[in-house]
Amino acid sequence: MEEKTIDTNAPAEMAENKPESAASFAWFVAKLAIVVLIFRSFIFAPFSIPSESMLPTLWNGDYLLAAKWPYGISSHSLPLGLDLFDGRIMESQPERGDVVIFKHPVDGSEYIKRAIALPGDTVEIRDGQLVLNGTAVPKQRIDDFIIPVTSNTDCAWGAMQETAPDGGQQCRYARFRETLPSGASYDVLDFGETPADNYGPIIVPEGRMFVMGDNRDNSQDSRFPAAAGHGVGLVPQDNLVGRATVLMWSTDGSAQWLLPWTWFSAARWGRIGGGL
């Protein structure tokens, strides 16, 4: 009769393998978290657009990726509000015309505007005309900007609401092309005469920047004193978070989480993938 050998060590080995597997999985999760933290802190991070202050460049419901490295890394660049150090590492200031994301100087919320003037620049607004270092920035009237009325887009007071060819409603705005001395060119909206159409002149101090929304008459920006939930004043460059680079998603606000097919019908497909 053939003798059978029983491996009495097998259960012990299996018992030993279980904690090893759990430890390996925990280490994998930890490494993944570290990689994500590094990626979001130093490379790219997602941001959403909750307002229309940057129309026509950015729409309410846009989701974009911001590059974190162009201006250096500060505590404001780090996720979860980690306040680890003062100033910026490998600091660099934005170019005039960059679309920048920064922390509000008072309440710490994230804002997105266009960098217009840098330290040493003299900036002024005369009857709605941007004047930089004593020279009026060219502002050319171009085709109207038209945007559909949707769940997250209404016509502001400066728009004309009208019926679109498909029977829906749309907003029509006067649009202009502004070109900075550096050659940076972008579109802006102008509703007409407002109190904020005259400002300055002021000289931007060291370490600060003057920012404006592209939707000039619907933007709380550097023309207004820094106050929680309102103007931002002359923004400290140490508050920079990153530079807007590419649109990765856009929705008109009509999607419902419990109706997956609406995720696709609400998408603004023509805006996805556009650079800034």
User: What percent of the chain is modeled with pLDDT above 70?
Assistant: 83
Range picked from 5-9, 34-38, 203-207, 252-256 for highest mean pLDDT: 203-207
70 is written with which tokens? 């162009």
For the ranges 14-23, 181-190, 201-210, the lowest mean pLDDT is seen at 14-23
Q: Please state which of the four CATH numbers 3.40.30.10, 3.30.56.10, 1.10.150.130, 2.10.109.10 is assigned to the domain occupying 41-271.
A: 2.10.109.10
- CA-wise closest residue to 52 among 128, 139, 154: 154
Q: What is the pTM of this model?
A: 0.84
Which candidate in 53, 74, 77, 219 is catalytic?
A: 53
pLDDT at 190 over 50: yes
**The pLDDT of residue 1:** 47
**The pLDDT of residue 6:** 45
Concerning whether 219 is annotated as a catalytic residue, the answer is: no
Range picked from 3-17, 71-85, 103-117 for highest mean pLDDT: 103-117
Q: Which residue has the tokens 């009325």?
A: 149
Concerning whether 53 is annotated as a catalytic residue, the answer is: yes
**The pLDDT of residue 14:** 46
103 is written with which tokens? 């922390």
**The pLDDT of residue 27:** 73
The string of pLDDT tens digits covering residues 63-72 is 999 998 889 8
- CA-wise closest residue to 142 among 199, 185, 99, 113: 185
Which candidate in 74, 113, 222, 250 is catalytic?
A: 113
| Burial class for 115, CB neighbours closer than 10 Å (0-12, 13-18, 19+) | buried
pLDDT at 206 over 90: yes
pLDDT at 178 over 90: yes
DSSP secondary structure, 67-124, as one string = ESSTT-EEGGGSGGG----SSEET--PPPTT-EEEEE-TTT--EEEEEEEE-TT-EEE
* Res. 74 pLDDT band, cuts 50 70 90: confident
The string of pLDDT tens digits covering residues 110-166 is 999 999 999 999 999 999 999 999 999 999 999 999 999 999 999 999 999 999 999
Amino acid at 73: I
The string of pLDDT tens digits covering residues 209-226 is 999 999 999 999 999 999
Give me the chain's average pLDDT, please: 87
Q: Is the model more confident about 32 or about 112?
A: 112
Q: 179 CB contacts (<8 Å, ≥6 apart)?
A: 137, 138, 140, 185
**The pLDDT of residue 34:** 65
Q: For the chain, state the CA radius of gyration.
A: 25
